C-alpha cells in the first residue's frame, strides 16, 4: 500500500517569513495530493490540493509543488501570519483512499 | 451549506463497554470515510463507504470495530468491549464521489473518545 512520509514534524518561523513542508510518497499510481490544516479541537480542513497532471498550484499565499518523478510534493506558505499556526497534514490518494503523513506542527513567532 | 457533523463531540466510557459514534455527511456526498487520530499522530484509515457498494473495511484494527451506513446518509461506528488503546479522536469525512475528478474529502469535527 501507499506510504507517505512528512517532514519536518515541527517548524517555527518568524511572522512574515516563508514555511515549507515536504512529503514523499511510495505508490507511483497515486494521482491526487491534498493538504489539510488542523487547528486545535477541530477536524482537518482542506487548504489546497494538486492532481498528478499538474506540477504547481497556487492560491494566494499558499502553493503546492509536485515532482512525480521523485515522488515528492511540498507545501509553501509565504508571508506567514499568526493564524497560520496549526498542524498541517499532507496526503496521497491511491486505490480510492487517502494515506496521510504524520503531520507538521507549524508555529508562527510574532 | 451544512458541513459534516459528528456526535457526540466527547465520549467517556468505561473499559469493556460498547460505544456508538455517529456521522452525518454533507448532503449529496456518496462517499464516507472513518479515520482514527491518536494524540499527536496522523490519521489512520478505518473504513470507507461508496454508495451501495460493499464497504472497504481494510483499516479496521480488530473485529471489535464495525460500521454501518444506510444508503447515502448517516453512518455509525461501533466499538465493542472498548479498551484503553481505543482512546482517540474519531473523524468522519465525506466526498461527492471517488471516481472522476471529485476527490475532495471534507471532515467533521470528530468525536473524542476516552476509555477509562
pLDDT of residue B99: 56
pLDDT for residue A85 = 97
| B115 pLDDT more than 70 | yes
**Cα distances (angstroms) measured from residue B107 to each of A25, A92, B110:** 22, 16, 8
Q: Which residues of A76-95 are buried (b: 16+ CB within 10 A; e: fewer)?
A: bbeebeeebbbbbbbbbbbe
Contact across the interface for B104 and A89, Cβ inside 8 Å: no
Whole-number pLDDT of residue B101: 53
Digit-coded pLDDT (tens) for B34-81: 999 998 778 999 999 988 888 999 999 999 999 999 888 899 999 999
The cell for A38 is 488542523
Contact A99 B45 (CB under 8 A): yes
Cβ neighbour number for residue A47 with a 10 Å cutoff? 18
What is the predicted pLDDT for the residue at A41? 87
Half-sphere exposure of A94 (CA within 13 A, CB side): 13
Give the integer Cα–Cα distance in Å for B97 and A90: 20
What is the band of B1 on the pLDDT scale with cuts at 50, 70, 90?
low
CA distance A12 to chain B (A): 17
Mean pLDDT confidence for A22-27: 96
Mutate to test the interface with A, among B105, B106, B108, B110 (most CBs of A within 10 A): B105
- Nearest Cβ partner for A102 among B41, B91, B104: B41
Centre a 10 Å sphere on the Cβ of residue A37 and count the other Cβ atoms it contains.
20
Residue A25: exposed, middle, or buried by beta-carbon count in 10 A (0-12, 13-18, 19+)?
Answer: buried
- When pLDDT is averaged across residues A23-39 and rounded to a whole number, the result is 94
pLDDT in tens, A61-101: 999 999 999 999 999 999 999 999 999 999 998 777 889 99
Instruction: Name the residue facing A98 among B4, B56, B105 (closest C-beta).
Output: B105
| Local confidence band at B98 (pLDDT 50, 70, 90 cut-offs) | low
Torsion of CA A93, B55, B6, B84, to 10 degrees: -90
Amino acid at each position: 500500500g501507499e506510504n507517505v512520509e512528512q517532514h519536518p514534524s515541527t517548524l517555527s518561523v518568524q511572522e512574515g517569513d516563508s514555511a515549507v513542508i515536504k512529503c514523499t510518497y511510495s505508490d507511483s499510481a497515486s494521482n491526487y495530493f491534498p493538504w489539510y490544516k488542523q487547528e486545535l479541537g477541530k477536524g482537518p480542513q482542506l487548504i489546497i490540493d494538486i492532481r498528478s497532471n499538474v506540477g504547481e498550484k497556487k492560491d494566494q499565499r499558499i502553493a503546492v509543488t509536485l515532482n512525480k518523478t521523485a515522488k515528492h510534493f511540498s507545501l509553501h506558505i509565504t508571508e506567514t501570519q499568526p493564524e497560520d499556526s496549526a498542524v498541517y497534514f499532507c496526503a496521497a490518494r491511491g486505490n480510492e483512499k487517502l494515506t496521510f503523513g504524520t503531520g507538521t506542527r507549524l508555529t508562527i513567532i510574532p | 451549506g451544512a458541513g459534516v457533523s459528528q456526535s457526540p463531540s466527547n465520549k467517556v466510557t468505561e473499559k469493556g463497554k460498547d460505544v456508538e459514534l455517529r456521522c452525518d455527511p454533507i448532503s449529496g456526498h456518496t462517499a464516507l470515510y472513518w479515520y482514527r487520530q491518536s494524540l499527536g499522530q496522523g490519521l489512520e484509515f478505518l473504513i470507507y463507504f461508496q454508495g451501495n457498494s460493499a464497504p472497504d473495511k481494510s483499516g479496521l484494527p480488530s473485529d471489535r470495530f464495525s460500521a454501518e451506513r444506510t444508503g447515502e446518509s448517516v453512518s455509525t461506528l461501533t466499538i465493542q468491549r472498548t479498551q484503553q488503546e481505543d482512546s482517540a479522536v474519531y473523524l468522519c469525512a465525506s466526498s461527492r464521489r471517488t471516481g472522476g475528478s471529485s476527490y475532495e474529502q471534507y471532515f467533521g469535527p470528530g468525536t473524542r473518545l476516552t476509555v477509562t
